Structures are given as structure tokens and as C-alpha cells.
Amino acid sequence: MQIENNTLYYIHDPMCSWCYAFEQALPELQKQLPQSLNFKVILGGLAADTTEPMSTETQAMIQQAWQRIEQTVPNVHFNFNFWTENTPLRSTYPACRALLAAEQQSPELSSILRQNIQQAYYQEAKNPSLDKILIECAKDSGLEIEKFNITLNSTEIKIKLAEHIQFARTLGVNSYPSLRLVLKEEVHNIAINYADATSTLTQINSLLQRHQNTSIESPCIRQCCLNNDDICLGCFRALDDITQWAYYSNPEKQHALDCAAQRKTLYNKNLI
């Protein structure tokens, strides 16, 4: 996974209670996000696989977090029966893998599954650390269950989750939920408002405007050499991008730079 410019990354875990609290503001954020930005979801992986019961200290810590959320975030409530009706496990990787398995079928179904996992956990007092609960949620989400069962604990999905977790660390994330906005190779930490997306959008638009007002300089390194496809092997821009650079808008320049970066990566791979 590579960091992409003009992208807002949402890093979360489906069994993170603060991520659940952010669900009421998240749809509005996505709806109002500037069209020039991409939105990508990354799974942070809060707690690794285990079959050991959760310690009483950890149970108390999470219940305190639930209570604090109910006190500070409007219209968010939890079913505390979970703690008496289950044997809690400090394991969120299964739920993360479930979302990746669902994403293979459809990104939209993955979002629905996330909501159903949270509904099962926080409202119905069910335990999404267990595969049987995840399969129930998958059925309710309209997924192809046979395919879901095969991929849920597959090596491919485990590797993909490891890539997501490593990518979250690359973005400097150590708590969830987190938002990271990448503009011109810079990674910006976006503050989260759990009740209203307005302040979050204001911060994003402010950063976007600041970067748009800054002219993007030519990447020319004075080592100009065109190949047979009219690609410069110095800056890896196409000839048209080079000749039209002075007339390009910043978004057009950024697009040319993104294409050049992809060409450079492919070129270097072919040299190995």
C-alpha cells in the first residue's frame, strides 16, 4: 500500500467504541467532502487474535469508555448487558478480517457489514470476536456466505490486514478513529468532532485551499532525455505535460506528477 496524494484516510476498527461514536458524523463528512479528494478506509487492528478471556481490568476500562461516550456524544448509547451475557475477548482482528472479506465482494457491502457488526456488538450484546457472530452479520448484510466463509480466515485476508495495520503506522496513527489528509506528500492529522462534521470539514477545506493557493513547481531536474514514448527519463513527465506545464492548473500539475511518480516506479522495477 502506498500513500496517495489528495486522499483522506479514515483509520478505524469495527470494535472500537469511539469509532462507533463517530458513525453518526461520518456519513455527512463523506457526503460533503470536496470532489477533488479521495476517501479511503484503513483498518487499524486494535487487538490481535486471542482465545483468552478479557481481564477484569480491561473490561472495566472499556466500560468506562462506553460511559464517557454516552456522557459526551449525543444520541450514542450502549447495551451493557454485553458484559454479563458473554465471555469478552480482547480480539478485534476477526471483525477486521470480516470487513476485508466483504470488501472483496463489494465495498458497499463492507460498509453495511461494519454497521451490522457494530449493531450486534453495541446494541444486541453479541460478541463479534467470534466467527459465528460475524457470519450472522454477513448474512444480514447480503453477502455470499459460502464465499465469505472461505475468505474470512484465509491467508490472503490475513496478509491484507497486516498490510492495513502497517499502513496505519506509516500514516503515524496510534489511536482510533483517526483521519489523515495527504496533500503534496504531506500527511495532516485531522481533528475529529464526534457530534458534527462541520468543524472537521472546515479544517479539511482550509488545508486544501492553502495548498491550492501554492503554485506547484516544475519537477525538472535538468536531465532531460525522452524515450521512444516521449517520456522524460529525468522527471518522468510526458512531453505534453512538459510543454503545457506553465498553463496547467494546480490539480492538472498534481495529476501529471502522480502519473510521473507511477512511471518512475515502473521504470525502477524494470531495472532490478
pLDDT tens-place string over residues 8-38: 999 999 999 999 999 999 999 999 999 889 9
Give per-residue pLDDT as tens, 55-69: 999 999 999 999 999
Task: Show the cell assigned to 256.
Answer: 501529471
What is the CATH superfamily name and number for domain 7-202?
Glutaredoxin (3.40.30.10)
Give per-residue pLDDT as tens, 214-260: 778 889 988 888 898 999 999 999 989 988 887 788 888 889 999 99
Give per-residue pLDDT as tens, 225-234: 889 899 999 9
Which residue carries 531536474 as its cell?
221
Please determine, for residue 271, whether its predicted confidence score (pLDDT) is greater than 70. Answer: no
Mean pLDDT, the chain, integer: 92
Percentage, residues of the chain above pLDDT 70:
99
Where do runs of H (alpha helix) occur along the chain?
17-22, 26-32, 56-72, 82-85, 93-105, 107-118, 131-140, 145-152, 155-170, 198-212, 239-244, 250-271
Positive or negative: CA dihedral 235, 239, 243, 244: negative
| Cα–Cα distance measured from residue 231 to residue 220, given in angstroms and rounded to the nearest whole number | 12
Residues 6+ apart with CB under 8 A from 262: none
- Poorest-pLDDT segment among 49-53, 156-160, 194-198, 211-215: 211-215
The backbone torsions φ and ψ at residue 39, rounded to the nearest 5 degrees and listed phi first, read -125, 125
Where do runs of H (alpha helix) occur along 213-249?
239-244
Domain ranges of the chain: 7-202, 216-272
Q: Report strand pairing: 178-183 vs 7-12.
A: antiparallel
pTM of the model: 0.77
pLDDT band at 127 (very low <50, low <70, confident <90, very high): very high
